[in-house]
Amino acid sequence: MTMIALNRSLKPASSSDALRHRGRGTQSNVSGRFEPVTREGVDDGWGSAERLEALATRVTLERPRHVITRNDSPDLGFEQSLNPYRGCEHGCSYCYARPTHAFLGLSPGLDFETRLVAKDGSAAVLRRDLAARGYRPRTLAIGTNTDPYQPIERQHRITRSVLEVLAETNHPVGIVTKSALVTRDIDILAPMAAKGLVKVAISVTTLDRDLARRMEPRASQPQLRLDAMAALAAAGIPVTLMVAPIIPGINDAEIEIIMKRAFAAGAREVGYVLLRLPLEIAELFTQWLREHYPDRAEHVLQLVRSTREGGLYDSAFHRRMSGTGPYAFMIGRRVEVTAARLGFNKTRLALRTDHFKAPRADLPQADLFETAA
């Protein structure tokens, strides 16, 4: 397969591409917006494309200097976050975090789900940051950009090591995931929940296994997420349902049934996000839509534009998460009415910060004096 510089238009995948990209959310590797040229694979006619192996996941280790990211966005319910990984193997076609891979010189397309970065040593860096003079404890959100429980967490266990530090220091944490792997850490999360230090939000986009496999191919199947909710709730861990994203004409018909099933599983808070298509995602999602749902693709895009001031994305604060216009208003009211009917959001759990105990700074001299005493 030869690589040549082309324009940014995306072509339908060939049959050989489809086999090679099987199990991935996108079918193209569109160049990032910072690259001087764009590249696209083209079959040279010599049969080389058919001999290519399926795309494998590659993980690079990174030693971070800091792991806490701070924000002052009025649209977000947290001030600081931590993401153990860059990129996400779940491969969700709509993922708003895909454009961040462009900062690495990689593609927001297939690179985002196959060329991952694990932030090795995050727990040690977090411990140092929490010990910093003047640190003020506030809820630390984990999983706001890429999923902390994506498949490579089974091997690297960075999320678990971070939770061990947070549990040791009684630091509040909110987790967002669409993986049933979160139940592995119930032994850490349940004691934290008893102190009012943790809540877990699980994203459920659809109950349709076929749609889930197409849209988020390596994430836990819908029933496994509901089972995870039940297991967490049974352990006394507060569970939030995130109906996110709601995609007009694709999964919006399932809003009420998703909420009903999640409430039965033990979720007691609910939130939603309307489909967001920033930067390269608009192009990638449009390609995905035309490939999997060619009969309704234009209708779906028209509905999306009706919620985004005529475009595919509106980045303005206070409306980028929920959209504008009659269709977006209807979505919001459906969630609101269903939440009231089922009993969601009767209370909003505020995590506690008064239990926090700063870890000791890494000072060997102090340890010597304490031992001598």
Q: Are 80 and 68 in contact (CB under 8 A)?
A: yes
Domains, the chain, with CATH or none? 2-369 (3.80.30.30)
- CA-CA-CA-CA torsion for 112, 118, 122, 123, nearest 10 degrees? 120
What are the tens digits of pLDDT across the range 100-151? 999 899 999 999 999 999 999 999 999 999 999 999 999 999 999 999 999 9
373 pLDDT band, cuts 50/70/90, is: very low
pLDDT at position 13 over 80: no
**Residue linked to tokens 């889930």:** 212
180 DSSP assignment? G
Peptide bond into 245 cis (omega under 30): yes
- The pLDDT score that the predictor gives to residue 11 is 44
- The pLDDT score that the predictor gives to residue 22 is 66
Q: Please list the residues that pair with 117 across neighbouring strands.
A: 60, 86
100 DSSP assignment? G
DSSP sequence for 260-293: HHHHHHT--EEEEEE----THHHHHHHHHHHHH-
pLDDT at position 294 over 70: yes
2 pLDDT band, cuts 50/70/90, is: very low
Candidates 21, 85, 90, 84; CA nearest to 56 is: 21
Q: In what order do the strands lie in the sheet with 58-62?
A: 58-62, 115-119, 85-86
Q: In the chain, where does DSSP find H-type helix?
A: 15-20, 110-114, 122-130, 153-156, 158-169, 186-194, 209-215, 222-234, 255-265, 280-292, 297-306, 325-342, 364-372
19 pLDDT band, cuts 50/70/90, is: very low
- The pLDDT score that the predictor gives to residue 366 is 41
What are the tens digits of pLDDT across the range 351-364? 999 999 999 865 44
Joined together, the tokens standing for residue 106 give 């990689």
pLDDT at position 36 over 50: yes
**Residue linked to tokens 């979720």:** 267
**C-alpha–C-alpha distance, residues 188 and 175, integer Å:** 13
Candidates 104, 78, 108, 105; CA nearest to 91 is: 108
What are the tens digits of pLDDT across the range 154-211? 999 999 999 999 999 999 999 999 999 999 999 999 999 999 999 999 999 999 999 9
In the chain, the percentage of residues whose pLDDT exceeds 70 is 84
What distance, in Å, lies between the first and last C-alpha atoms of the chain?
A: 70
Joined together, the tokens standing for residue 110 give 């297939």
Pairing of strands 115-119, 85-86: antiparallel
